[in-house]
Amino acid sequence: MSKQKQKGVTRETLKFVFKTAWKERPSVFLVYFMRFIAEFADKMQNAIMAKFIIDELVLIITSGEISQHLTNAAVYAGIYIGVQLLTSVLRNLADQLESVHAEWFSEHIDIQLADHTMQMDFEHTEDPEALDALQKAQEGMSWYSGGIVGVLGAVFKLVNNAAALLGVSVIILFTCPWLLPVQVAALVVITIFNAKNNRIDQESFLKLAKSNRVFGYVYYQLADFRLGKDIRLYDSAKMMGDKAKMYSDEQVGIWRDTAKKQRKNSWVMDAANALRDGISYFYIGFLAVTKAITIGDFSMCVSAAGTLYWSLYGIVSGVQEINQKCAYAHRYIEFMRFPAAMEKGTKPVRQGEHTIEFRHVSFRYPRSEKLVLRDINLTINSGEHLSIVGLNGAGKTTFIKLLCRLYDVTEGEILVDGVNIREYSDEEYRKLFAVVFQDFQLFAFSLRENIAFGGQADDAELERVLKLAGLWEDAQKLPQGLDTMLYKSFDENGTDLSGGQRQKTAIARALYKNAPVVILDEPTAALDPVAEYEIYRQFNTLVGGKTAVYISHRLSSCKFCDRIVVFAEDTIKENGTHDELVALDGGIYAKMFAEQAKYYVGCSE
């Protein structure tokens, strides 16, 4: 990072950190004020009080006025102990309060990150760059920088060191002035080599971020009990374990490489330190032996020299530490303003019936060269039940993602009620659709929450949709009915639904949303034949007069729809009713239907 850029990053991060702290929890500043008082008093008295006590002790031995000097020494010792006690109480209190604040700010940041992630454009959730940025933001704002409190702590440590430096510089100037250049020279050498080590640290952080994400994913999968069956039956534990080990070895390699690169620099710093100590002691010892200073002054100079060096070191390394922590924490700021993938409109969606029209739509996924959909032209009228069929990978789900505006089209346009969907407000537009994706997710909440998603659930409506989806009777048998928790993650009495029940839950959720357009992407894949038949039979009741788009591999289900479109070779190859398509000579649908019919001969449908 260039110096100029680093400055900008540090300035922006500090502004963010101070603003957030002041707005959210200003009491954190009181913590640092307490620590400032404790640190300053401690350092000053370490240098000064020892001098007074030692000088009195020497006078007891040399002057003969024992009682007077004994009293003085006792008073100084009393002050010393008193201040020590007070500073340690203050410091402990500050430490405790600081960890409470650190915890609070860490949760605050986690919530902000989660909020932002949920609001990000969908395509970022499939974008490795965005996922990397999220990982860097999480790590950068937690353990790498210590978060808000980590950065604030570093700034106030700098302030404390500056105050101590000022205090001991006055002492040294009046007692042993040549100590100053010795300390400064040693420091210059140490600073240069310390900066080199910091740069090495930063480089390894960047290398580690990607490796950490993949490593974390593999370990998470291994620990996720829901994947237990797949992992055991496909014997993938070894493969996962090997992968985890590979990334773990990679990380150890990065750490080892970092330590190796830093070792030589650390040796130079150690040597500079030893030289500094030697010269300082020789100089102050010389002053004491020649009686230029008292024995108490000798002790004070030794202590002040130590404080001077460490405060100077604290300031220089403190600036580096602040820059470094800010660079890490800045990844959070960067993630929070990750550019939106799509332009957002503001138009409201009008009430009533809706017509959907795809006009010359082509699409390729970001970072991909290949068009997945090519010149799609299709109108879906209000209330129409449309079935989409096609082989795996034909682009059916992608078509749905485009319709829901999870991605923007690459070419052409999608119109709803004659308006390009880019012009609609996102929030309004999404209200139009209730979708059951193939890879729908249920959460470790109650069944009720999984269907109604918070708010005041309408019991009568819940019953209606559960009955429609064929889940009502099963739900009644659950230990706590609709309030039974799904999965056992947070409740040992939680239940694991069967694949069919999970799919019915997802269908009930879509129906409960009561949106004008219902989209079911292979809704029957996990259902048994009876349940599947029930869904078909009730299809018209299920979706009522709503517009419905229905993706299925089982062509027999398409009969229930008004119209069928066939996706093949990235585009729509056939479009018509079941009877029309079956009659097409050499047609794709006719061929697929004949193939499948072989297996269904004699079935009740």
Output the smallest distance, CB 126 to ligand ADP, in A.
Answer: 4
Contact map string, positions 368 to 407, toward ligand ADP, x by CB under 6 A? x---x-----------------x-xxxxxxx---------
Output the smallest distance, CB 396 to ligand ADP, in A.
Answer: 4
Return contacts of 584-589, CB within 8 angstroms, 24+ apart.
Answer: 589/389, 589/555, 589/564
CB nearer to ligand ADP: pick between 515 and 525 = 525
CB nearer to ligand ADP: pick between 122 and 281 = 122
Report the distance separating Cα 216 and Cα 134, nearest Å.
13
CB nearer to ligand ADP: pick between 368 and 604 = 368
Output the smallest distance, CB 223 to ligand ADP, in A.
Answer: 25
Instruction: Compute the Cα dihedral for 598, 600, 603, 605 and give only its sign.
Output: negative
CB nearer to ligand ADP: pick between 50 and 214 = 214
Instruction: Kindly state whether residue 283 participates in binding ligand ADP, applying the rule CB under 6 A.
Output: no
Report the distance separating Cα 350 and Cα 337, nearest Å.
31
Output the smallest distance, CB 395 to ligand ADP, in A.
Answer: 4
Residue choice 12, 110, 126, 357 for contact with ligand ADP (CB under 6 A): 126
Phi-psi region of 146 (alpha: psi -120 to 50; beta: other; left: phi over 0): left
CB nearer to ligand ADP: pick between 20 and 398 = 398
CB nearer to ligand ADP: pick between 468 and 566 = 566
CB nearer to ligand ADP: pick between 177 and 393 = 393
β-pairing verdict for 433-436 and 517-521: parallel
Output the smallest distance, CB 407 to ligand ADP, in A.
Answer: 8
CB nearer to ligand ADP: pick between 354 and 374 = 374
Output the smallest distance, CB 508 to ligand ADP, in A.
Answer: 23
Output the smallest distance, CB 362 to ligand ADP, in A.
Answer: 13
CB nearer to ligand ADP: pick between 514 and 596 = 596
* 3-class SS shares of the chain: helix, strand, coil, % to 5: 65, 10, 25
Output the smallest distance, CB 394 to ligand ADP, in A.
Answer: 4
Report the distance separating Cα 561 and Cα 419, nearest Å.
26
Output the smallest distance, CB 579 to ligand ADP, in A.
Answer: 24
Output the smallest distance, CB 500 to ligand ADP, in A.
Answer: 21
**Count, residues near ligand ADP per rule CB under 6 A:** 12
Output the smallest distance, CB 410 to ligand ADP, in A.
Answer: 12
**Phi and psi of 415, rounded to 5°?**
-115, 140
CB nearer to ligand ADP: pick between 48 and 506 = 506
Site for ligand ADP in 292-311 (CB under 6 A): none
**Sequence-separated (6 or more) residues with CB below 8 Å from residue 487:** 226, 442, 444, 494, 495, 496
Say which DSSP state 226 is in. Answer: G
Output the smallest distance, CB 88 to ligand ADP, in A.
Answer: 58
Instruction: Kindly state whether residue 523 participates in binding ligand ADP, applying the rule CB under 6 A.
Output: no
Q: Which stretch binds ligand ADP (CB under 6 A): 37-45, 364-372, 467-475, 578-586?
A: 364-372
CB nearer to ligand ADP: pick between 396 and 563 = 396
CB nearer to ligand ADP: pick between 458 and 569 = 569
Report the distance separating Cα 314 and Cα 158, nearest Å.
7
Contact map string, positions 324 to 363, toward ligand ADP, x by CB under 6 A? ----------------------------------------
Report the distance separating Cα 420 and Cα 422, nearest Å.
5
Output the smallest distance, CB 438 to ligand ADP, in A.
Answer: 8
Strand ordering across the sheet containing 571-576: 433-436, 517-521, 547-551, 385-390, 563-568, 571-576
Output the smallest distance, CB 552 to ligand ADP, in A.
Answer: 11
Report the distance separating Cα 403 and Cα 391, nearest Å.
20
Residue 459's alpha-carbon distances to 233, 451, 463, 483, in angstroms, are 40, 11, 6, 12
Instruction: Kindly state whether residue 365 participates in binding ligand ADP, applying the rule CB under 6 A.
Output: yes
Return contacts of 303-307, CB within 8 angstroms, 24+ apart.
Answer: 303/46, 303/47, 303/50, 304/47, 304/168, 304/171, 304/172, 304/175, 304/176, 304/179, 305/172, 305/176, 305/179, 305/183, 305/280, 307/43, 307/46, 307/47, 307/164, 307/168
> What angle (nearest 5°) sits at the alpha carbon of residue 295, between those of residues 292 and 296?
110
Return contacts of 586-593, CB within 8 angstroms, 24+ apart.
Answer: 589/389, 589/555, 589/564, 592/389, 592/555, 593/555
Contact map string, positions 203 to 232, toward ligand ADP, x by CB under 6 A? ------------------------------
Residue 300's alpha-carbon distances to 79, 83, 372, 379, in angstroms, are 17, 17, 78, 89
Report the distance separating Cα 134 and Cα 210, nearest Å.
11
CB nearer to ligand ADP: pick between 313 and 593 = 593
Q: Which stretch binds ligand ADP (CB under 6 A): 349-357, 365-373, 508-516, 572-580?
A: 365-373
What would the DSSP string read from start to end of 353-414? Answer: ---EEEEEEEE--TT--S-SEEEEEEEE-TT-EEEEEE-TTSSHHHHHHHHTTSS--SEEEE
CB nearer to ligand ADP: pick between 121 and 139 = 121
What does the binding site for ligand ADP look like in residue numbers (CB under 6 A)? 126, 365, 368, 372, 390, 392-398
